[in-house]
Chains A and B, each alone.
Chain A
Amino acid sequence: MDLTVRGAVKRFGAVTALAGVDLDVAEGELLTILGPSGSGKTTLLKVVAGFEVPDEGSVQLGSVDVTLAPPRARDVGMVFQNYALFPHLTVAQNVAFPLEMRRVPKAERQSRVAEALALVELSGYEARLPRQLSGGQQQRVALARSIVFNPRLLLLDEPFGALDRKLREAMQLEVRRLQRRLKLTTLFITHDQEEALILSDRIAVMNAGRLEQVGTPSEVYARPATRFVADFVGESNLFDGIAGPDATAEVPGLGRLFLAAQAGTPGARVTLLLRPEALRIGGAADPLANRAAGQVVETVFLGLSVKLRIQPEGGPELLVRLPLRPSEPPPALEGEIVTVGFAPEDVHVIRQA
């Protein structure tokens, strides 16, 4: 393992920012820490970077324990939220800074700066000042500066937050490409679940100072371990119910639902997750084992798909997302009563602690 965090605890006065975090990042892996603000992800990053010392637990880079080491003694490159470029230094001087701090001889410094700038496609911008660059270009400079000294670990702290959507998507792909090409072990911090799904080898979902689940994007999306993960990653229909016999569950308002497997000991409380794209309406719903009738409360046109809110009588509101071809008419109108259905294998069971 390239980065190993064991039992990290960090308190600020009465607030516990990290409540015992264990984390392993493999060599060349891009692991995303995903969590809402205040979940402790920034504190975890600071502990890994060396800006904070954990109250308990340890941080290892490779086989070296760096828990108490200052940032400069760790081989970690970091891209800050607002890039933190040095405004009084040129692009080349910014990128050369970590090399200078490591006493790399001047000739080598120049060639490595040129190399790093070529990697982020900013050759020719050496003499510019950061304020003369666009947001995306500044981001590239920050990236070049953080990888120019071949760090053991790259830390990205919400690096795309300041960019507009188009640019953000382009930069995400570029960072991903670069990270794969250089096989950089990367820890990426974000609160944007969509970004996490796109970029990550694995995602660690963080809440209230703990990691709720660590897994690949598809695992985290399709089989969330906790209700929080199910709710935070992607859109979801979440029902509280009681496990019944023979792979069924009783949900107030929806009646008996058929599941793919036994949900738990009969009578146990369970949470059921149903992703909106798993639902079908009208004729497509007829062959499915779980069905209900409901009124379409709202339809939202999203281009690729259409989102419906359907209210079954006396039951919980259902969020439905249906794919849409450009030539197709909308599948249902607001106010219409439709049949809505879903297959047993599309229901994911979250056992309650």
Chain B
Amino acid sequence: MPRARRRGSAGRIALTVLAGLVFAFLMLPLLVVFPISVSSASYLQFPPPGFSWQWFQRYLDDPVWIEATIRSFKVAVLCTLLSMGLGVPLSFALVRSRLRAMRIADRLVAAPIIVPNIVISIAIYSLFARMQLIGEWYGIAVAHTILALPFVVILVSAGLRTFDEAQEQAAMGLGASWPVAVWRITLPQLRPSLISAAFLAFVTSFDELVIAMFLSGASMTLPKKMFDNIMLEIDPTIAAVSVLQILLATFCLGLATLFGRGLVPGAGRN
């Protein structure tokens, strides 16, 4: 049936074009950021007049930038640990519980995504001010956990919902306690979800500005430092930092893809 075949290929071309357009739309900012980061000009100018590594050099030489970077790392790592440590057990509770209250709780998990960040920030600010947590890096991590937790729970519980619970039962029938069954059988098969969740939690925190502006005080995170840089200096250092951030995220994503692979979808139903 040549006609059907021709229609199919026309559809495929349209799909490819659409995908290309969307992709270009997503990638366009990078096409601006990368050239500017290696600009020889001393202010943000596009296209850049010449090539230079000077902005990367300035970033690396400035202790304030480096400190902010290290702080952001610490915050993001703690936030990832906290949101995974809370989110994974929470997902089990939400997916496995037969209580009706859990079904309602399941819907409420997305609340932090819906509530404007600035509202969350103000609320946390007044609380943390009383607890004297303003300016402490771990305070920011705790606050970021509120933002990251919904992503973790949504991803992990989606993974858990497709997991065949009979396998956990089988493991228990073969002599495992429930925690051992979860650790040896369930979690390894949820690895793709777990890795994506950890990645999202990390990036959510590493990138976060609004909460950091309220809570970081004098000890800035990287996004806060970038914001200040734009307010005060507007030089291409920020482009260089952005490029480094993008590379880091790409690297993490690469790792996540590498280690999240190797399992057949729906393997539990074999």
A284 at the interface (CB under 8 A from B): no
Contact, CB under 8 Å: A78 / B176: no
Chain B residues with Cβ below 8 Å from A70 are 172, 177
Distance A39 CA – B189 CA, assembled complex (angstroms): 34
Q: Contact string, A60-74, partner B, CB cutoff 8 A, digits 1/0?
A: 000000000011100
Tell me the smallest distance from the CB of A90 to a CB of chain B, in Å: 13
Distance A132 CA – B75 CA, assembled complex (angstroms): 43
Distance A217 CA – B202 CA, assembled complex (angstroms): 63
Chain A residues with Cβ below 8 Å from B10 are none
A276 at the interface (CB under 8 A from B): no
In the complex formed, the residue of A with least CB distance to B169 is: A51
Distance A138 CA – B269 CA, assembled complex (angstroms): 12
In the complex formed, the residue of B with least CB distance to A102 is: B175
Contact, CB under 8 Å: A80 / B166: yes
Chain B residues with Cβ below 8 Å from A125 are none
Chain B residues with Cβ below 8 Å from A84 are 164, 166-167, 169-170
Distance A76 CA – B169 CA, assembled complex (angstroms): 13
Chain B residues with Cβ below 8 Å from A51 are 169, 172-173
Tell me the smallest distance from the CB of A64 to a CB of chain B, in Å: 16
One of A50, A78, A88 near B170 (C-beta < 8 A)? A78
Distance A149 CA – B173 CA, assembled complex (angstroms): 12
How many contacts between A and B, using CB within 8 angstroms? 73
Distance A80 CA – B172 CA, assembled complex (angstroms): 12
One of A88, A131, A138 near B188 (C-beta < 8 A)? A88
One of B175, B263, B269 near A101 (C-beta < 8 A)? B175
Contact, CB under 8 Å: A72 / B270: no
A274 at the interface (CB under 8 A from B): no
Number of interface residues of B (CB under 8 A): 23
Number of interface residues of A (CB under 8 A): 28
Contact, CB under 8 Å: B263 / A87: yes
One of A72, A80, A81, A87 near B175 (C-beta < 8 A)? A72
Contact, CB under 8 Å: B166 / A131: no
Given contacts A87-B268, A130-B270, contact A71 B173 (CB under 8 A): yes
Contact, CB under 8 Å: B171 / A97: yes
Distance A88 CA – B186 CA, assembled complex (angstroms): 10
Given contacts A82-B270, A101-B180, A130-B270, contact A87 B170 (CB under 8 A): no
Distance A157 CA – B197 CA, assembled complex (angstroms): 36
In addition to A82-B269, A146-B174, 11 A-B residue pairs with Cβ atoms within 8 Å of each other are A51-B172, A51-B173, A71-B169, A76-B173, A78-B170, A81-B166, A85-B270, A97-B171, A98-B175, A101-B175, A131-B270
